Amino acid sequence: MNDSSQKKSAGNFMVDVNLTMHDGGEETTRRVVGPSTVFSPAMTSVPASPFLAGPSSTPSTTLKTAPTTALVKAAAEPFVWDLSSAPTLPDLHPLERTAAFVPHVSSSEISRRISQILRERSIEACYEDDKAKVKCTTPDGVDFRIRLYRGRGEFHHGIIVEVQRRFGAAFSFHGDTYAILSAAEGKENQPCSSTSSTLPLVSDSDDESYSPNGVASLSTVSKMLVYRDHDSYLLALQTLAVITDAKNVGEKTAFAVSTELLQVESEVGSKIISLLVDRTVEDDIFKLRVMALTVIANAIQTVKGDISDMVREMLRPTLLQEMQGAHKNPRAAQMAARCVQFLLEGDHDVAEVHSVLQVALQAGQVRHAGLERQAQVCLDKIV
C-alpha cells in the first residue's frame, strides 16, 4: 500500500489532498477478499475564490478550432479490447465471488464482449493487454477491475473472468457486475437505463419541509472543505451531488441549494469550481474533478442554466477542454456536456461549441454510450 500526498493550488488558496493508494503496483492486495470461487469440472461438450476576483480584464481563454480534425480522429479510434491470450491463473490466487468461468471461448472473443458491455453501460475503461486487465469506473464513481485468466488443470479449456471492486459503492454496481459476467458468458443483457440512480423520485409535496435543511447542508459542506484531505473532499462532493439532484431531494430543495451554490459570492461554489479550473494536478487519481463536474452539472440543470455571466465565462473554457479530451476521460466529458446543454443559449461562439461536441460524440460512439447520448442532445439543440 503506497501513501502519497498531492497539493492543488489556485490563487492564494492551497488544497493539500492526502491520497491513500489501494491500487499500486501489481494490485495483489485486496480490500475485501471473499471465499474462493469454485467452478464445476468441465463437461465433455480548492482556493481563493475565483468569483471574488471579479471579471478579468483580459478576454477569457477560448479553444482554437483549428486542430479539431486531429482531435476527432483521435476520438474515433476504436477502444475494443482484443486480448490475444490470458495468463494462467496463479497458484494460491483467491478468486472473488464475482467471477465466472467461460469454457471453450477464446480470450479475444471474451474481451470483445466485455468492451462492448462496458460501452453500453457507460463504464469508463482503461485496457492493459500485458496484464489482461481493465481498470473501470462506473457512472456512480465505483472503481473496479476486470481480470482474465486461463484456467489450470481440468479448467484449461476456458477463461476465468474476475471482477474486483477497489473503491466506492453504489446500488447499481451489483447490476454492473452481473451484466459484465453475463456478457462474458455470451448471455444477452437487458438494455441499460440512461440513468444510474435507483432511488425513488421525490415529489414537491415530499420535500416541502426540506428546503431549509438543504441550504443549511451547504454550511456543513463548507466545514468539510476546510479539512485538506481526500476523504473530506470526497464526502463533501458526494453530499453536494445528492442535494443538488431533484431526483434525490425534490425540486424545491435542489433548486434552493443549486441557486445558492452558483452565486458569485458562494464560498462552497468557489471551491468546487476551483477544482475544475485549476489544472496543476493532471493525474486526479480519485476523480475529484469528475465529481465536482457532476455537482456543477446537477446545479446548472436544476436552475436551467440561469447563472451569472461571470460564472458562465469562468466555466466555459474548462467545459470545452473536457469535451475535447473526451477520448481520455469520457465521464468528465459527459458531465461537461450536461452543463453545456443548459448554457448553449446566448453563447458567444456556438460554432466552437459545435465542433467540440462533435469530438465528444465520436468518442462516445466508440466507448461511452452515456456521452454519446448527451453530446447528441446538445447537438440537436444547435440549429
Helix (H, G, I), strand (E, B) or coil at 231: helix
pLDDT at position 89, please?
95
Which residues have a Cβ under 8 Å from the Cβ of 246 and sit 6 or more positions away? Answer: 202, 253, 254, 255, 302
Q: What are the average pLDDT values for consecutive 10-residue runs of the chain, which has 383 residues?
A: 43 38 44 48 46 43 42 54 95 93 97 95 94 94 96 94 90 92 90 50 48 73 86 91 93 94 94 85 66 96 96 96 94 97 92 96 93 96 84
- Which grid coordinates are listed for 282? 493532471
**362, 379 in Cβ contact below 8 A?**
no
pLDDT at position 46, please?
41
Q: Where are the beta strands (DSSP E) in the chain?
A: 3-10, 13-20, 99-103, 124-128, 133-137, 143-150, 158-167
**CA gap 306, 219 in Å, rounded:** 23
What single-letter amino acid sits at 348? Answer: H
CA distances to 66, 170, 174, 176, 225 from 275, rounded to whole Å, are 28, 23, 30, 29, 12
pLDDT at position 64, please?
41
How is residue 33 annotated by DSSP? -
The model's pTM is: 0.76
Helix (H, G, I), strand (E, B) or coil at 228: coil
Packing angle of the helix pair 251-261, 230-243 (nearest 10 deg):
130
Helix (H, G, I), strand (E, B) or coil at 40: coil
- Which residues are registered as beta bridge partners of 10? 13
Which of the listed CATH numbers 3.30.56.10, 3.30.310.80, 3.60.20.10, 3.30.300.30 matches domain 79-198? Answer: 3.30.310.80
Packing angle of the helix pair 350-367, 369-381 (nearest 10 deg):
150
pLDDT at position 78, please?
56
pLDDT at position 383, please?
67
**285, 230 in Cβ contact below 8 A?**
no
pLDDT at position 8, please?
41
pLDDT at position 293, please?
96
- Which grid coordinates are listed for 76? 474515433
Helix (H, G, I), strand (E, B) or coil at 107: helix
**CA gap 278, 28 in Å, rounded:** 34
**CA gap 293, 333 in Å, rounded:** 9
What does the domain layout of the chain look like in residue ranges?
79-198, 211-381
pLDDT tens by residue, 176-208: 999 999 999 999 876 665 444 444 444 545 444
Of the candidates 140, 139, 184, which has an alpha carbon nearest to the alpha carbon of residue 162?
184
